[in-house]
Amino acid sequence: MSRVGVGEQGLEAGGEDISAPKTGLLGGLRGLAVLVTWLRDTLRQPLGYRLARLRPNVLRRRSPATRAAIHDLVAGLARDPEIKAFLLPDDEILVIHHQTDGPRVLAALNAICALDPRDRACSAPLELGRDSPLVAWSQITTDGEALLAWAEQALSEALSKTGPLGTPGGPEIGLDAPLLASGAGDRGTSRGRPLTPEGLAKLENALVLADLSNQVRRQRMVMIGDDGALTPVMTELFVDIAELRQTIAPQVDLFSNAWLFRRFTATLDQRMTAFIGGYVAAVETPAVSLNLNVATLLGPGFGPLREVSRRFPQMTLIVELRLDDVMADLPAYLFAREYLHHLGFKVLIDGLGPQAMLWLDRKRLGADYLKAQWSHDLGAMVDTAEGAALAERIRASGSARTILCRCDDSHAVEVGRKLGCGVFQGFYLDDLLREGRPHDVGGRREEGG
């Protein structure tokens, strides 16, 4: 990896560069401050830490959608508190990780190359520690001091142009400031005590003893006819984390540590699969979906679900996997996907925003369904060139295989229909089903629900 010299241009302290992209990458003043602090601490015991410097600007496709897709992939890595990702000048990205996480970083790089496999920058197989046009590798022990010197000077120059973080004239630290890569934002308004390893052990014991049967929720997904009639086609079974927290740990912030929270949900997966058969039997739709972690599929916790599949051969069982979980360990996902398909399960990729929908290729991932989340950004794309591109992507993927969730009013449904989504989920649809009413196709916007 080429060293980051003091003479290189620092991050600009004005304009849009002052804040990190909303994907979770750390940039601007906040990124420099975190980088300096982290390096000063880590250089005391630097063994095992590696640097990967990504150069997306060498790729032939440099559209905003491609840039956002790359940032999403790297941000997925950075949700692990042991991995740090920083946006550098010239749109380069620095990923600092322990050597044990090297395969995950390599998997993300391969996913970037999968966006355009014919790109010359990806012509040779990527290998850990081997430089390529797309990435340069190094170690903290050799490049850490030079990187720290550059970051300190860049931070000093940036602060000379604006006030320090949180001071008048400087960027604010608060809810509108960029979120950390771990997903943790400003904690000024506490949501409880941080989750600790000791606290996690107690919660896992509580999960073993707790009666979770009354915590399971169900929500139907529907297709909408030209006359607005609703046809339920799937039912999602899930445990509401917020409700569960109030039951077993009201004073603990389950989301304060991304790694511990993932471990918590893996334990919850095992408990849920142990008794889910009775709920599957009560479902009236031809398909039922469950949210699980990739790790659960490859462990003993998946055994009860295989038994459910044998008990209800007429039911289509769908496993919902979050995109960040998939990208965190792509080889594990690919293995799990083949395993699921072999057993007759379907695979759904969940947690997709507008930009992820633009670049994600369902067929290449081998998934059966994609689930997008309604947002105002999605609504703003209608009648734009980006919206047309998204509609074409959905058409190619298959309308009936694209689900729009979190539809809380008729406007969200209408936007989804315009973009080509064929299946819908949300509180608004729950109300219509409960009241036996059709959707008002093309009608006025209904807020709430």
Q: What is the pLDDT of residues 157-215, one digit of tens each?
A: 776 664 433 333 333 322 222 222 222 233 333 467 888 888 888 888 888 777 776 67
Q: Which of 218, 222, 219 has its CA nearest to residue 438?
A: 222
Residue 188 inside a domain? The answer is no
CA angle (276, 302, 307) in 5-degree steps: 60
Q: What is the CATH number of the domain that holds 121?
A: 3.30.70
Q: What is the pLDDT of residues 255-286, one digit of tens each?
A: 888 778 888 888 888 888 887 888 888 888 99
Query: Rounded to an integer, what distance in angstroms lies between the CA atom of residue 30 and that of residue 172?
Result: 10
Inter-residue contact 216 to 271 (CB < 8 Å):
no
Residues 68 and 215 both lie in one domain: no
Q: How confident is the model at residue 59 (pLDDT cuts 50, 70, 90)?
A: confident
Inter-residue contact 210 to 270 (CB < 8 Å):
no
Q: Which of 181, 213, 198 has its CA nearest to residue 263?
A: 198
Residues 149 and 198 both lie in one domain: no
- Tell me whether strands 135-139 and 49-54 are parallel, antiparallel or unpaired: antiparallel
pTM over 0.75: no
Domain end among 113, 143, 161:
161
Residue 427 inside a domain? The answer is yes
Q: What is the pLDDT of residues 108-142, one digit of tens each?
A: 888 888 877 778 888 788 888 888 888 999 988 88
Can you give the pLDDT at residue 185? 32
Residues 264 and 214 both lie in one domain: yes
Domain end among 161, 180, 214:
161
Sign of CA dihedral 115, 120, 125, 131: negative
Residue 445 inside a domain? The answer is no
Q: Which domain holds residue 85?
A: 15-161
Residues 134 and 211 both lie in one domain: no
Can you give the pLDDT at residue 443? 61
Residues 321 and 258 both lie in one domain: yes
Query: Rounded to an integer, what distance in angstroms lies between the CA atom of residue 22 and that of residue 6?
Result: 28
Q: How confident is the model at residue 438 (pLDDT cuts 50, 70, 90)?
A: very high
| Residue labelled with tokens 């943790």 | 184
Q: How confident is the model at residue 216 (pLDDT cuts 50, 70, 90)?
A: confident
Residue 211 inside a domain? The answer is yes
Residues 156 and 246 both lie in one domain: no
Residue 9 inside a domain? The answer is no
Residues 133 and 233 both lie in one domain: no
Residue 170 inside a domain? The answer is no
Q: What is the pLDDT of residues 415-428, one digit of tens each?
A: 999 999 999 999 99
Residues 84 and 126 both lie in one domain: yes
Domain end among 161, 176, 206:
161
Residues 430 and 370 both lie in one domain: yes
**Total structural domains in the chain?**
2
Residues 200 and 145 both lie in one domain: no
Residues 157 and 205 both lie in one domain: no
Residues 65 and 154 both lie in one domain: yes
Residue 179 inside a domain? The answer is no
Residue 379 inside a domain? The answer is yes
Q: What is the pLDDT of residues 351-382, one digit of tens each?
A: 898 888 988 889 989 999 999 999 888 888 88
Q: How confident is the model at residue 430 (pLDDT cuts 50, 70, 90)?
A: very high
Average pLDDT over residues 392-414: 93
Q: What is the CATH number of the domain that holds 266?
A: 3.20.20.450
